[in-house]
Amino acid sequence: MRKEIQIGIGDSVSTARGFIDAWKRAEKNEKMKAEHRLDFENLETLLKTLTSGRFVLLKTLRKNGPMSIRALAGALKRDYKNVHTDVKKLELIGLVSRTNDEKVSVPWDIVQARLRLAA
């Protein structure tokens, strides 16, 4: 089964509303598909966090499989320290994870971003 995460912009009110809706459906024993979401407060924060370099990093890991940070920096032709910083940030927000042998991997098959033009 493919693992997908949806990235978007949402405030605490809409996030809480979604949580309450899921809770009510669970109380009624309704079947629910597991949904993975990563919401940012605003577009500026999303773009600051998921830079083009970090997106290339995600695609490289997805294509090549788990790698050490040193191997990843080599594949990206980037400085080790900068790649390490990017990995730490992406790990913090759940877009990358570590394998048992401490290699970096992407647990997602699909990272989907949705941006609403009007509220």
The CA distance from 53 to 70, in Å, is 16
Give the mean pLDDT of the chain.
85
Q: Is the pLDDT of residue 99 over 80?
A: yes
Specify the pLDDT at position 118. 61
Q: Is the pLDDT of residue 14 over 60?
A: yes
Q: Average of pLDDT values for 93-112?
A: 89
The CA distance from 15 to 9, in Å, is 10
Tens digits of residue pLDDT in 19-67: 777 777 778 887 767 677 778 788 888 889 889 999 999 999 999 999 9
Better-predicted residue by pLDDT, 65 or 3: 65
73's enclosing H/E stretch is: helix 69-76
Q: Average of pLDDT values for 61-90?
A: 96
CATH 3.40.190.10 fits 4-114, yes or no: no
Q: How confident is the model at residue 84 (pLDDT cuts 50, 70, 90)?
A: very high
Q: Average of pLDDT values for 79-84?
A: 97
Beta strands in the chain (DSSP E): 4-9, 36-40, 97-98, 104-105, 110-114
Provide the 8-state DSSP code for 117.
S
Q: Is the pTM of this model over 0.85?
A: no
